[in-house]
Amino acid sequence: MDIMKTDKIVIVGGGSAGWMTAATLIKAFPNKDISVIESKDVPTVGVGESTIGGIRTWTRYIGLDESTFFKQTDASLKLSIKFTDFYKKDGGSFHYPFGQADVINNRNPFFDWQLKKYFYPETPIEDFVRCLFPASALFENNKFSLNNSGDFDHFDAANDVAYHFDATKFGVWLRENYCIPNGVKHIIATVLETPNDQNGIKHLVLDNEDIVEADLFIDCTGFKSLLLDKALNEPFDSLSKMLPNNRAWATRIEYENKDIELEGFTNCTAIENGWCWNIPLWSRIGTGYVYSDKFVTPEEAKEEFKRYLMSDKMVIPRTKEQVDALEFKEITMRVGIHKRTFVKNVVAIGLSAGFIEPLESNGLFSVHEFLFNLIDILQRGEISQFDRDMYNVSTRDLFDQFSKFVALHYALSHRDDTEYWKDINTKEFKDEISNDPYTPNRTKAGAFYDIIGRYMEEWFHPYGMAGITYIATGMNLQMINDNRIANMTYRYKRDYLSEADAISEIWENKKAKWNKAAESSPSLKKFLEDTFYGKE
């Protein structure tokens, strides 16, 4: 097709994806004609209540006003993701915190902790995060601090924090407080027809008999994918072999004791046929069970979820009477991504483009990262096929890397207590994870090292550490063995035991300082009260 203008943009679908798209585009291009068509009859999915650190980059970009945002979206703060029983059944927990690790004074930036674990194998896995992240003293004790005094060293409360919020209320807040006031047009109607030709969507036919034309249509219609899938028939690449979870049960529970249940992290707990999330908002806890219907029926899964809610995996277990009184929502997930997400004059954002699964809170992450890529393309003013191709390559690469990262949470597990976990433990990830053309027959271990080997180089890197390092460490993958330490000692003529002891003493002093500062910090609940909500 010819060079395409992008002066008039129509977004089909509201919810988080639709209104995030509208907010981003009206910020970047205030002179473009931007509209959102939102049907009053389509409910939002509402599972994307947890975010990761990148959300703050996006909120700063649009200039989000937290003073109204928190109250109107039931928001709380998130410092980490906690994983419970992923390595083994009843195998304990580990954290994946936000921000950069504190490696000041380390002799071997990130490798030092592996040395400590090698020489002192009784060192608990949880010690890794406690040694390297000042915020661990906060999120492990339900505390929060802006770190104005600097007691938590390099912890940055402006960047090392994400949000928990009500996704439905979030979409409404963006619509009413940002998009419409900044010039986005809101059309309440249902799209009935999507006639198209060789150039893409010709126009939309609405149930109010209006005909809507645009230069660019953005599909934010969720799993339905009305434009990209239904109208343009763009092929969909399923990730079901790599990520088998395709269903979820979700519910909301009231606080029993908000002081201890309002935690500064998302808790993910592996159970029989998947995992459960706990997302503490200001007024309630959002919780759900992500599972595979290959191994359990929806009704059986609901009973497993109920047992979880009554178990000691909850901060405060609920009674059978409380659980039976809950309203449960069933969700069917389409796991995978369309081969291309920018086709002709249609771009898909959010669930309509693709979805991995809720683990690692990646849903809204892909929304704002795809949008930043889209801005890069649209700022040229007009669109060529090369622009589309560049967008498709960049977003697909981001999606593929994140999906592999999520898959490794399962591949690293040693659970074997159900057929679900046995299947994961015997699954060959060679085609799904490994892209190495020279070793096409790699099995689980080979595929794992194919991607994780690059990340593990970060143990020696002074500038940063990849997220897989936290997951691998929590899953008991250690990078030191007798042969390696002997070889390193001979080659570099260094006393690694003395180095490990020296840095361990430094860490103990740091942990003592961070824990003392946490003792005098307000609880997360009190901080939110004082800053946003006021006394209840």
Those residues with Cβ within 8 angstroms of residue 484's Cβ, 6 or more apart along the chain or in another chain: none
The Cα 123–Cα 121 span in angstroms is: 5
Catalytic annotation on 78? yes
C-alpha closest to that of 415 among 298, 271, 519: 271
The Cα 293–Cα 295 span in angstroms is: 5
Q: Report whether 202 contacts 195 (CB < 8 A).
A: yes
Q: Report whether 25 contacts 58 (CB < 8 A).
A: no
Q: What angle do CA 121, 126, 129 make, to 5 degrees?
A: 115
Q: At 248, which helix (H) or strand (E)?
A: strand 247-253
Is residue 138 helix, strand or coil? helix
Q: Report whether 403 contacts 239 (CB < 8 A).
A: yes
Partners of residue 523 on adjacent β-strands: 143
Q: How far is CA 475 from CA 83, 114, 127, 273, 516, in A?
A: 10, 13, 13, 19, 29
3-state secondary structure 206-230: ECCCCEECCCEEEECCHHHCHHHHH
Catalytic residue among 27, 78, 117, 444: 78
Active site positions, annotated: 78
